[in-house]
Structures are given as structure tokens and as C-alpha cells.
């Protein structure tokens, strides 16, 4: 299995966008509809149910953060579970995630219709069916909410809820505990609160959806965990305080039958204009959540089809460039749910599937950690592993059981049908195993070695972080050329001869490590097809690169992860086990420059030209300090004494074949080879002296 990596993903989403996407996916029916149903079950203590549900979402949120920083791929929970537990569990996760989104969208539609009937005198269920048709059509033709629009929406909703909370909390404080509707607080005991926690958990189900956008987030390793944490904190506060205001100012006999409880509370505490703004905010939140929900749900059948778990037509795109089959199937399923179930039943079913998927996500983290796959290198690791995951799994099991027999049976039926579908349709078509096989190495050939390569390619999609020294990697790289007729084994031997000196390891060990790792990306190109083998070593702190050029071509056999492809260059990247994520990001950046710079790399006639072709808008020059040469005056000076033009730096110093770190206090000696990097407009032509104006003594 090979992985092609494109030049660069568009990483335009910042922390504010991550926060908006995550928060916007939460604020819909859970805030504007569900409080009345929750209060009918637990009374004013429903406030605690929302608070507890937010706290119980923490383990799943942290596990999703870890998986998203290790596997920044579209597909979210389905992709994580499928790659960790295998296609059978992946089928359950795929159908389960799709159903959870369908049920959440149906619940949001019920809420949206409840708020729309305040404006339009139409029966709620009829209005919901009309809305389903409209949103299905919108998604078929390809319209979707952008992250920037989502950000504006979230700001508007939070501003309106801020106004609502300020007025509501002031009113609640003025009435006091006895004068409000908070007494008695526990109308059904603590058991009622526990039961309602499972019901309201659907409110937090959208929190982790942002993980599927990891490929578009700038520095996802930091911004996904931070954005989701901020979203959960803000969401939990707004939910808890919003429900507190609703149960305090709205009489129980009204609240328990109300499908627009926040509006009813707003009427009691805000001026009429403010109450109508709450309706607008609710409708905007519902519309955004519905549109994004249908869009996301339709992608799961497409992802499963591409993995061979559904027929190919389910993954096809319409003439509008959208997965029309998935959109129509999602819209039809939402309509069936709205017709067949009431609001409370939909909420329970949606919560059951959200809890199931989040439980499987916690299992996925346990499996991927235990598998010890070298390329599983999350930048964010959940604390208190594995206890946090065990707690998360226990939370899912307990809350699902508290949702009642109907929700449990429905979930078990769907799981049984998913397994049956995999056995009858998926297994004959899918030749892939999850990371769980790596946990049990005694299964031998059952281990899926291609998973390591796929994870490597996924990790490389993160883009570089500050501290990832790509230019230094290229500057200190060794460049070799091999004659016609050389096979990959001999090329690897020559590479190992160079790396063994740099790494201080035997040649045989170096070569064997590359062969064992099996992480190989092939970059097809009409100008210069290349391959990038990656291996990780415990004994090094700094990544090393050896470039082996073969003008006549080298064939990549299956033993090296290929299928007979011919390439004209091999880029052997020796990474460090201490920071595998950095090594894989560097490999991804290298593959990106090979995608665009293959022609220049192939046409290069010197080592400096090869390296310049792999650098972003920089020119590399190499100078040998001979006592009788043009640069003899540099000998005996420290690097810090060299007055180089702006933007120009000494990238490395080679001394008797050993690459030295260009420390400012390093004193240059005869026969040292300087590698200098700088912008093309200030770098001298090849053959001229080092661009030093004078030496500061």
C-alpha cells in the first residue's frame, strides 16, 4: 500500500473557527427544546443533569482530541474506529454515527418547527417534513455553511443567550429560592437526575464533530484540543445556566409541556424585542445545525463506500459535486424518524447512539496505544491513560442502560444488522485489518502492515509546526547517485553506509529497520517519480535524510511496500522515536515539495541544486573552505562573526564527513564544508565566495 501526499492542504481554520464549529454543532435542540422534556423527568434538578452530562463528556472529548491529532483525516469517529478495531466494528461505527446524526437532525427539526409555529400557523409535523425536503435539496445542490458564517452565527447565538442569562439570573436572584420555581429541587430524587443525564447527553453530541475537519485546521495538534475544551466549557455553562433560568421563571405545568422553553422563559424576563431575537437565534442555530448535520451524515455512506463496506454508487458524486445518494438517504431517514417517534423518543435514541460511538472512540484509543504502531504519534495524548478511557467506556454503558429498554433494543438491533451486513457484503470485499491485530502479534499474517503506512501519511497531513526544522533536514542531507542496474537492496546498502556513520549504528541494523518499518510513500510524477521510505530510531535526536538518485530507475518490490513501481529517486528519512510526529510531518512536507519540484530535482546537476529544488523560495550554496581558496579568510572565525545578508544563514557544517550543528561559537577549520541558505535575490551565483561583507572580530 502506498500513500500519495499532495503539495499542501488548505489550512485556513484558526482557533476561533474550531470553537465555532464545535459550539455551533452543540447549540440546537439540546438548548432550545430539550430543557422542558428534561424538567418533566427530573424537575428543577434537570440543571444538574446538564452539568453532569458536560463533565461526563470530558473523557470522550480528550480521546477524540488524541485521535484527531494522530489521524487528521475526514471521516471522524468512523475512520478512527475502523482503523483501530477493523472493518466489522467500523461498519457498526459507520452506521451508528450516521444514525446518530440522522436522529440529532430529526430532533433539531422538531425543535425548529416548534419555534417556527410561533411565526407561521402550520402544524409542527407538517412543517418539519417541509423543512426536511428543503434542507435535503439544499445539500444535493451543494450549498453549505462555511466556517466564517458559522463563527458569526455562534457569536450571535452566544450574544443573545448572554442577554437572556443576565436578565434571567437577575430575575432568579430577585425571586430567591423560595419565590422561584426551584423548590422543591429534587422532585424525583437523585435517580431521576441520573436517568435524565443520558437523555440530555445528546446536547453534547456535536462537540466532537470538528475532528472531521482536522485536514483544514491550521496546527490541529494544538487547536483541536484547545478549541474543543473551550467549546465544552462554554457549552456546559450556557446549558446549565440557561436551564436554571428556564426552570426558575417558567411554572412547571407550563414548562413540562413546552417545546420552545427558552422562548417562553424569554417572554417572562425580557422585553418583547429581546424575546423575538431569541426566536431568531434559535432558528439560526437550528438551520446551521441541520444543514451541517445533513452534510456530515451524507459523508459517512460515501466514506464507507470508498472503504468497500457499501456499494460504489453510495459513494458517487452528483453533477453538483455532492454525495446525492447519501443526502437523499439521510433526508429520507430523518423524515421517517420524525413521523415514527415523538420528541422524547428521538432524544433518547440519539443519545444512545452518541454514547455508543463515544464509547467505541475510547476503545479505539486503548487499542491504538496498545498496538504500538510506530506511526501512531498523536501530538496530544490523553492524561491518565488508560483509566480515563475505561471511565469513558463505563459512562457510555451506564448511561445507555439508563435510557430504557426501547433505546437499548433499538441500538442492539442496529448493531446486529450492521454485523450481518459486514459478514454478507463487506467481508468478501475488504482485505483490511484494524490495529487490534497488532495487539495480538501471535496472529502472524493477520497483522495489517499497511495500517502503519496509512497512519504515517495521515500524520504527515498535519503540516509543519514551529520547531520542525525542514530546511535543516534538507541542508544536512546526503545525496548519492547510483548506476543503471542497481536494485533497491543495493541502494539501501549505500544509504545505510552513510546513515550508520551519522547514527552510530551498524549498517545491517539501519537497512533492516527501513525494511521492517514498511512505511513507504510513492510520489508518481511524469518528471521524476520518487519514493520516501521512513524509519524511526531510538538512538538519535535529530532527523536525517539520504537522497539516492537513479537516473535509470529503481523498481520498488512488495517487500519494500511497493507493487513493482519504478522511481528515479529514493528519499530515506531516518526519524527519531522520541518525536515520531515531527519526523512524519517532515516526511509529509518533503513529499509536498516533491509533488511540485520533481522536474527541478531531476534536472539538478549538483548536490546544491538538488537541495535547492526541495526548499521553499530559498537557494542553497555549498562552500569548501580551502586554505588557498576564495573563502580562506573565513577559516579560524566563529560562525557568529560572519556578517551575512538578511535572510541568509549557515544551515550546516560538514567536517571530515560528520555533520556539525552550526552553533554560533563553532570555529571554522580548513576543509570544512559550509551549507548556506538564503533568498535567491541575495545569494551569489555558484562559484562565487560566501556572501560575507566582513568578519566581526
- Please report the DSSP string for 64-133 in residue order: HHHHHHH---TTHHHHHHHHHH-HHHHHHHHHHHHHHHHHHHHHHHHHHHHHHTTTS-S-HHHHHHHHHH
Supply 372's cell numbers: 504500538
Q: Sorting pLDDT into bands at 50, 70 and 90, what band is 389?
A: very high
d(CA 294, CA 326) in angstroms, rounded, equals: 9
Which part of the chain has CATH 3.40.930.10?
458-613
- Beta-bridged to residue 544, according to DSSP, are 574
549 forms beta bridges with 481, 569
pLDDT tens-digit series, residues 341-383 = 888 888 889 889 889 989 999 998 998 888 776 667 677 888 8
Measured distance CA(6)–CA(524) in Å, rounded: 11
| 412-436 confidence digits (pLDDT tens) | 999 999 999 988 988 887 766 555 5
The stretch 582-593 carries a mean pLDDT of 78
Cite the residue boundaries of each domain of the chain with CATH code 1.20.1740.10: 18-426
Read off the C-alpha cell for 505.
Answer: 549504528
- CA angle at 127 for the pair 121 and 128, rounded to the nearest 5°: 145
- How is domain 458-613 classified at the architecture level of CATH? 3-Layer(aba) Sandwich (3.40)
Grid coordinates belonging to 291: 444543514
Residue pair 623/674 in contact by the 8 Å Cβ criterion: yes
Percent helix, strand and coil across the chain, each rounded to 5? Answer: 60, 10, 30
DSSP character string of 318-361: -TTSS-HHHHHHHHHHHHHHHHH--HHHHHHHHHHHHHHHHHHH
Average pLDDT of the chain to the nearest whole number: 80
The answer to whether the CB of 96 falls within 8 A of the CB of 357 is yes
Q: What is the mean pLDDT of residues 652-681?
A: 86
Q: How far apart are CA 596 and CA 576, in angstroms?
A: 27
Start and end residues for every CATH 3.30.70.1450 domain found in the chain: 619-678
Fold classification of 18-426 is: Amino acid/polyamine transporter I (1.20.1740)
Confidence of residue 315 (pLDDT cuts 50, 70, 90): low
DSSP state, residue 185 = S
Q: What is the pLDDT of residue 144?
A: 45
Give me 652's grid cell.
550546516
Report the pLDDT value the prediction gives residue 579, as an integer from 0 to 100: 77
**% the chain with pLDDT above 70:** 82
By percentage, how much of the chain surpasses pLDDT 90? 14
The better pLDDT of the pair 59, 564 is held by: 59
Could you report the per-residue pLDDT of 530-564, keeping only the tens digit for each?
A: 888 888 888 778 889 999 998 888 888 877 767 77
CATH 3.30.70.1450 corresponds to the domain 619-678: yes
Instruction: Please return the burial class of 318, using the count of CB atoms within 10 Å of its CB with bins 0-12, 13-18 and 19+.
Output: middle
Chain position carrying cell 464509547: 359
Is pLDDT of 526 > 80?
A: no
0.75 exceeded by pTM = no
**Rounded average pLDDT over 18-31:** 78
Task: Looking at 573-657, list the stretches that DSSP marks H as alpha helix, in order from N- to C-terminal side.
Answer: 580-603, 607-613
At 233, the pLDDT band (50, 70, 90 cuts) reads very high
Question: Alpha-carbon dihedral of residues 306, 309, 313, 318, nearest 10 degrees?
Answer: -50
- Pair 193, 55: CB distance under 8 Å: no
Amino acid at each position: 500500500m502506498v500513500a500519495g501526499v499532495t503539495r499542501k492542504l488548505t489550512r485556513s481554520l484558526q482557533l476561533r473557527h474550531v470553537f465555532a464549529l464545535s459550539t455551533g454543532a452543540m447549540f440546537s435542540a439540546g438548548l432550545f427544546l430539550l430543557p422542558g422534556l428534561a424538567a418533566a423527568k427530573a424537575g428543577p434538578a434537570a440543571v444538574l443533569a446538564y452539568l453532569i452530562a458536560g463533565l461526563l463528556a470530558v473523557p470522550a472529548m480528550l480521546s477524540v482530541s488524541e485521535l484527531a491529532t494522530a489521524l487528521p483525516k475526514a471521516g471522524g469517529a468512523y475512520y478512527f474506529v475502523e482503523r483501530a478495531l477493523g472493518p466489522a466494528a467500523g461498519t457498526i461505527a459507520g452506521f451508528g454515527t450516521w444514525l446518530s446524526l440522522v436522529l440529532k437532525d430529526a430532533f433539531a427539526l422538531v425543535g425548529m418547527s416548534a419555534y417556527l409555529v410561533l411565526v407561521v400557523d402550520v402544524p409542527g409535523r407538517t412543517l418539519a417534513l417541509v423543512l426536511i425536503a428543503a434542507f435535503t435539496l439544499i445539500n444535493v445542490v451543494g450549498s453549505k455553511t462555511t466556517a466564517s458564517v458559522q463563527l458569526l452565527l455562534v457569536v450571535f447565538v452566544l450574544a443573545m443567550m448572554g442577554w437572556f442569562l443576565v436578565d434571567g439570573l437577575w430575575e432568579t436572584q430577585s425571586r430567591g429560592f423560595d419565590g422561584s420555581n426551584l423548590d422543591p429541587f429534587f422532585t424525583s430524587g437523585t435517580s431521576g437526575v441520573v436517568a435524565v443525564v443520558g437523555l440530555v447527553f445528546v446536547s453534547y453530541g456535536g462537540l466532537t464533530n470538528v475532528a472531521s475537519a482536522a485536514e483544514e485546521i491550521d496546527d490541529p495538534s494544538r487547536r483541536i484540543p484547545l478549541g474543543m475544551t473551550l467549546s465544552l466549557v462554554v457549552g456546559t455553562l450556557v446549558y446549565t445556566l440557561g436551564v436554571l433560568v428556564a426552570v426558575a421563571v417558567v411554572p412547571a405545568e407550563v414548562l413540562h409541556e413546552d417545546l420552545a422553553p427558552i422562548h417562553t422563559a424569554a417572554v417572562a424576563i425580557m422585553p418583547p424585542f429581546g424575546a423575538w431575537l431569541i426566536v431568531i437565534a434559535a432558528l439560526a442555530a437550528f438551520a446551521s445545525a441541520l444543514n451541517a448535520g445533513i452534510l456530515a451524515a451524507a459523508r459517512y455512506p460515501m466514506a464507507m463506500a470508498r472503504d468497500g463496506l457499501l456499494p460504489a454508487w453510495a459513494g458517487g458524486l452528483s453533477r453538483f459535486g455532492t454525495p446525492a445518494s447519501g443526502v437523499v438517504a439521510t433526508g429520507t431517514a430523518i423524515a421517517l424518524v420524525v413521523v415514527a417517534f415523538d420528541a422524547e423518543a428521538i432524544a433518547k435514541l440519539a443519545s444512545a447512539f452518541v454514547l455508543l460511538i463515544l464509547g467505541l472512540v475510547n476503545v479505539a484509543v486503548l487499542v491504538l496505544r496498545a498496538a504500538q504502531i510506530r506511526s501512531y504519534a498523536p501530538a496530544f495524548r490523553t492524561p491518565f491513560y488508560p483509566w480515563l478511557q475505561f471511565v469513558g467506556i463505563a459512562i457510555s454503558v451506564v448511561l445507555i442502560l439508563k435510557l430504557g429498554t426501547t433505546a437499548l433494543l433499538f441500538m442492539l438491533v442496529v448493531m446486529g444488522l450492521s454485523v450481518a451486513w459486514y459478514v454478507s457484503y463487506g467481508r468478501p470485499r475488504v482485505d483490511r485489518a484494524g490495529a487490534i491485530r497488532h495487539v495480538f502479534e501471535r496472529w502472524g499474517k493477520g497483522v495489517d502492515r499497511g495500517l502503519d503506512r496509512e497512519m504515517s501519511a495521515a500524520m504527515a497531513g498535519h503540516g509543519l509546526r514551529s520547531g520542525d526544522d525542514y530546511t535543516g533536514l534538507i541542508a544536512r542531507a546526503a545525496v548519492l547517485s547510483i548506476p543503471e542496474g542497481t536494485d533497491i537492496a543495493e541502494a539501501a546498502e549505500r544509504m545505510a553506509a552513510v546513515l550508520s556513520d551519522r547514527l552510530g549504528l551498524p549498517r545491517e541494523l539501519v537497512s533492516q529497520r527501513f525494511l521492517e518499518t514498511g512505511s513507504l510513500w510513492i510520489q508518481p510524477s511524469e518528471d521524476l517519480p520518487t519514493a520516501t521510505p521512513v524509519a524511526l530510531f531510538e538512538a538519535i535526536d535529530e532527523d536525517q535524510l539520504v537522497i539516492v538518485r537513479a537516473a535509470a530507475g529503481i523498481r520498488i518490490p512488495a517487500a519494500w511496500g511497493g507493487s513493482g513501481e519504478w522511481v528515479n529517486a529514493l528519499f530515506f528519512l531516518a526519524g527519531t522515536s522520541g518525536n515520531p510526529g515531527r519526523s512524519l510531518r517532515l516526511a509529509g512536507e518533503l513529499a509536498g515539495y516533491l509533488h511540485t519540484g520533481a522536474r527541478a530535482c531531476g534536472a539538478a546537476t549538483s548536490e546544491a541544486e538538488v537541495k535547492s529544488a526541495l526548499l521553499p523560495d530559498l537557494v542553497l550554496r555549498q562552500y569548501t573552505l580551502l586554505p588557498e581558496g576564495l573563502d580562506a579568510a573565513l577559516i579560524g572565525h566563529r560562525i557568529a562573526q560572519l556578517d551575512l545578508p538578511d535572510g541568509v544563514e549557515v544551515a550546516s557544517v560538514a567536517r571530515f564527513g560528520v555533520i556539525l550543528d552550526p552553533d554560533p561559537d563553532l570555529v571554522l577549520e580548513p576543509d570544512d564544508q559550509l551549507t548556506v541558505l538564503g533568498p535567491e535575490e541575495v545569494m551569489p551565483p555558484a562559484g562565487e565566495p560566501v556572501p560575507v561583507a566582513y568578519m566581526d572580530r
